[in-house]
Amino acid sequence: MRTDLHRQPVNPLTAVRNLGILAHVDAGKTTVTERFLYFTGATHKRGEVHDGTTVTDFDSQERDRGITIFAAAVSCAWDGYRINLIDTPGHVDFADEVERSLRVLDGAVAVFDAVAGVEPQSESVWRQADRHGVPRIAFVNKLDRVGADLDAAVESIRERLHPAPLVVQLPIGKEDGFTGVVDLLRMRALVWAGDGDTFEEGPVPEALLEEARRRRRLLEEAVAELHPLALEEFCAGSTISAPTLAAALRDLTRTGEGVVVLCGAAYRNRGIEPLLDAVGAYLPSPLDVPAVRGTLRGTEEERAADPSAPFAALVFKVTSTSTGRLTYLRVYSGTIRKGDTVMDAGARRSERISRILRVQADRHAEMDQAVAGDIVAVIGPKAARAGATLCVPEAQLVLEPPTTADPVVSVAVEARRSTDTDRLVSALVRLVEEDPSLVVRTDTETGQTVLSGMGELHLEVAVEKIRRAHGLEVGVGRPQVAYRETVSRGVTGLLYRHVKQDGGSGQFAHVVLDVDPLEAADAAGSVGDQGGGSAVEFVFRSAVVGGRVPQEYVRAVEAGCRDALLEGPLGGHPVTGLRVTLTDGATHPKDSSEMAFRTAGRLALREALRASAMVLLEPVVEVTVTVPDDAVGGVLGDLAARRGRVSGSTARAGTAVITAAVPLAELFGYATRLRSRTQGRGTFTTRPTGYAPAPASVEAR
């Protein structure tokens, strides 16, 4: 049944909605996705997270742990719209899955807990969506819970996320008595009965009529402040009509100036149909978002979402299944058909598309073709990795790949049986191919194989996947965090001459460097940013005058300095947060070359770092701990013992929510410790906040 007003699409592409479900752990993302599938007829039975029967949490580890680990794509149809939906993880360790998904989405539904409001990971995924410019609508879920408060949740959206929340519904009933909503656009009541499979539309209850009118007025005033056409109508008639209001909400959502807020209780099937209508009414189609931009032979080019344009698609996920290798694509332009040969533009490799699949989590429906705007999986490409661009050979284009954050935790892994070593190497290669946020390397000193990822749970899931998928017994070492080194006091005028003569052309390079810590203005968020990979961690500049060092040699010196940043003098950790200035130099008419100056830059900076005062940096996370009131003292003492700095504590319905900054290295095993201190009633979440100087005791380890 339709519950909102929107126009039927004419162009097929206007009927497509590519959206993600974003939220904190346990806010109800997967339940909302399950209800989408159920009410659109894509499934005929409601799946439940606690029963392990959901469509999108199909992996055995997801069902065992009761959380979303891997982003899962599904597709459904509602009132003439084709909805391609990605259910994303809410745990911070799997933020890279969210990042890759947001790169290919046109819109999103942000789900918030009506009791907790905006939680730490809610804020993190919201900021990720901000970076990608993804329009969002908000759904305040779990209004049937004790302590649920729509107004408090909306206020937390306003205070912590900073968009203008535009609330279009008023709840009918509170907590367990929540039965429906008042639609403030049409001023009507939608009431769900029984198990929530159906609802009745009727007039606004008399007891809520005055409050509904007040909130409708507040909505009109908020929209009039932001939208010129709505303001014009409001000034002329002191009100805004439902069609004008809907059009203004659509515009404000797509520009990001406002966020439409709806409410409901997904587990009890209340509020889903209006949310589906809002997806069609307010979120953009592929035609409403800017044309994708890529590079073609060094120049930037746009590709419109046009099925007749040259084919271009971005690979955002790769998985291995029992039926073969699945490559997930967002098609940005053109059309692809079974049997087509495409080009991996970055690797300059041809790939053949043997099958095209409409994805329904772990189930697939075969398609003959996919067009601009589609999100599909293909079988055939053997080497394309996440971030690769597939395009037609005669019109190649390289699209910007999703960013990948640096890993912060590492463990040593080894096969229990020496005969399984080769199988373990193969399994690790496949694992890294599927999840680019994992890194595998061999420690040059110990010879150990080291697996690095975004957190303790991330690595635990990865190792368990090797055990289950490949039947391998794997030994795992104690987790180690990824330290960094930085300069606290630099050096000035360090002179380095690189001279090498061993027959034939020699090498000559003379450089003079100044090394300083990055000032706050230069490093805005540098040492601490782990989210988007856009942090300024190193600044290089040239102050050479008179052409004493040609420009091509200056670039070579910078490249050499970047090489030197890979290993610092304290413990071989990457160096960050410094500025290097090339102040002088000299060349030789015959023996100077880019290679000589690159070598000089590398060796000069290494020498400069050894002469500088260096500081070891350790990763720090913001920990949000929710515990019963009677356990607060013990939890605070434990956080202090872990070098935690408490930044806030709030009371909420018999529980306390404590926020603290804690070094990541001190949190290994914290889940077990917290459970024992709170008799299993305490929970915690983490969010990376950056790096901070480590104490001398850590440096000495």
For residues 515 and 609, what is the distance between their CA atoms, to the nearest angstrom?
Answer: 8
Contact 428, 419 (CB under 8 A): no
Burial zone of 304 (CB within 10 Å; 0-12 exposed, 13-18 middle, 19+ buried): middle
Q: Could you give the dihedral angle defined by the CA atoms of residues 518, 521, 523 and 529, in that order, rounded to the nearest 10 degrees? A: 150
For residues 106 and 450, what is the distance between their CA atoms, to the nearest angstrom?
Answer: 37
Q: Is 30 annotated as a binding residue?
A: yes
Tokens of 29: 């993302």
Q: Is 89 annotated as a binding residue?
A: yes
Q: Is 144 annotated as a binding residue?
A: yes
Q: Is 458 annotated as a binding residue?
A: no
Contact 175, 148 (CB under 8 A): yes
Contact 256, 288 (CB under 8 A): no
Q: Is 87 annotated as a binding residue?
A: yes
Q: Is 500 annotated as a binding residue?
A: no
Q: Is 84 annotated as a binding residue?
A: no
Residue 196 identity: G
Beta carbons within 10 angstroms of residue 124's beta carbon? 21
Q: Is 560 annotated as a binding residue?
A: no
For residues 25 and 20, what is the distance between their CA atoms, to the nearest angstrom?
Answer: 15
Q: Is 90 annotated as a binding residue?
A: yes
For residues 486 and 479, what is the distance between their CA atoms, to the nearest angstrom?
Answer: 23
Closest CA relative to residue 519, chosen from 442, 581, 479, 578: 578
Tokens of 688: 């990376």
Q: Is 25 annotated as a binding residue?
A: yes
Residues 89-104: b if buried by 16+ CB within 10 A, e if exposed: bbbbbbbbbbbbbbbb
Closest CA relative to residue 389, chosen from 332, 331, 435, 344: 344
Tokens of 350: 């041809």
DSSP 334: S
Q: Is 24 annotated as a binding residue?
A: yes
For residues 165 and 177, what is the distance between their CA atoms, to the nearest angstrom?
Answer: 25
Residue 68 identity: T
Q: Is 465 annotated as a binding residue?
A: no
Burial zone of 343 (CB within 10 Å; 0-12 exposed, 13-18 middle, 19+ buried): buried
Indicate the length of the chain as a whole number: 701
Q: Is 88 annotated as a binding residue?
A: yes
At a CB cut-off of 8 Å and minimum separation 6, what does 361 contact? Answer: 55, 56, 58, 72, 73, 74
Task: Report the binding-site residues.
Answer: 23-30, 87-91, 141-144
Q: Residues annotated as binding site for GTP?
A: 23-30, 87-91, 141-144
